[in-house]
Amino acid sequence: MVCKGVCHRYKTKSNLNGLRYANGQKRCNVCDLFVNWDGLWCPCCGMHLRTRPKVSRYRQKCIIQVNNSGGSLS
């Protein structure tokens, strides 16, 4: 799987609070950026997008923020 450059159309700007996943952004490890995309697969390379943080302290912050806002984390 190779980045074809299509994903840069969906590239997101950084958040001030740093909780990207709680705001609906997803990360592609192949393309190495966060995208605003409704699907589970990268529109550029076809790789599965990360929807949750890896580091446990950020994961807990993300879960708390999502629960407070009434949303759901995929």
List the beta bridge partners of residue 50.
Answer: 27
Q: For 71, phi and psi rounded to 5 degrees?
A: -90, -170
User: What is the per-residue pLDDT for 73?
Assistant: 60
Using the Cα atoms of residue 9, residue 15, residue 18 and residue 20 in order, give the sign of their dihedral: negative
Report which residue type is found at 39.
Answer: G
The answer to whether residue 1 is domain-embedded is no
The answer to whether residue 74 is domain-embedded is no
Number of domains in the chain: 1
The answer to whether residue 62 is domain-embedded is yes
User: What is the per-residue pLDDT for 55?
Assistant: 76
Domain that residue 13 falls in: 6-69
Alpha carbons 5 and 15: distance in angstroms, whole number: 22
The answer to whether residue 39 is domain-embedded is yes
Q: Are the CB atoms for 34 and 11 separated by under 8 Å?
A: yes
63: Cβ contacts below 8 Å, ≥ 6 apart: 73
List pLDDT tens digits, range 21-72: 878 889 999 998 999 989 999 998 999 999 888 777 777 777 777 777 766 6
